[in-house]
């Protein structure tokens, strides 16, 4: 499983990193309705901090960010959004070998994202401490850090874009 594909499927909603049911179903190689059915049969395993049901405004936001093509993509059903803990719980509901392997890959992707965020935060805190200590602003270092973050975000956006042109 390509970790880049998993990282592109992780979105932020309500201040939480989530994955949509349709993306997880694709990774697990099951239909979305089968995944949702398994979850509904085991709702006690999915408290609010494990799984969210998106509202219309959040769905519109996902459409505007080109995460999903249109609202009609869901066929009238409200999508489920799973947090890291909810995805871990899915492995107990979906018991196939594929589900286990995919869950391991997804957990690793969440850890990588968290490590990146922490390392950036640590760098930013150290830069602020240095600026206070030397009583000057290091704008060039701050600009480089922001450039690196924007470059990563732009790379993600470019890979998520719909391809145009001839297909081979």
Q: Where are the alpha helices (DSSP H) in 9-96?
A: 21-28, 32-41, 56-64, 84-93
More confident residue, 60 or 37: 37
Give me the mean pLDDT over the 10-35 stretch.
86
> Quick one: pLDDT band at residue 152, thresholds 50, 70, 90?
low
- The answer to whether the pTM exceeds 0.85 is no
Element (H, E) at 18: strand 16-20
By percentage, how much of the chain surpasses pLDDT 90? 7
Q: Which residues of 70-81 are buried (b: 16+ CB within 10 A; e: fewer)?
A: eeeebeeeebbb
């Amino acid at each position: 499983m390509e970790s880049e594909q998993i990282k592109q499927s992780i979105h932020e909603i309500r201040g939480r990193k989530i994955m949509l049911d349709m993306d997880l179903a694709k990774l697990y190689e099951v239909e979305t309705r089968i995944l949702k059915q398994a979850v509904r049969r085991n709702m006690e395993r999915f408290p609010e901090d494990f799984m969210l049901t998106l509202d219309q405004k959040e769905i519109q936001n996902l459409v505007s960010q080109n995460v999903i093509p249109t609202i009609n993509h869901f066929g009238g059903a409200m999508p489920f959004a799973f947090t890291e803990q909810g995805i871990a719980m899915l492995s107990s509901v979906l018991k196939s070998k594929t589900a286990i392997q995919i869950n391991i890959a997804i957990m690793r992707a969440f850890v990588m994202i968290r490590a990146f965020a922490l390392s950036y935060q640590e760098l930013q805190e150290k830069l602020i401490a240095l600026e206070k200590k030397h009583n000057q602003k290091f704008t060039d270092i701050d600009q480089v850090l922001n450039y690196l973050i924007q470059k990563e975000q732009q790379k993600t956006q470019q890979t998520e874009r719909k391809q145009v042109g001839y297909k081979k």
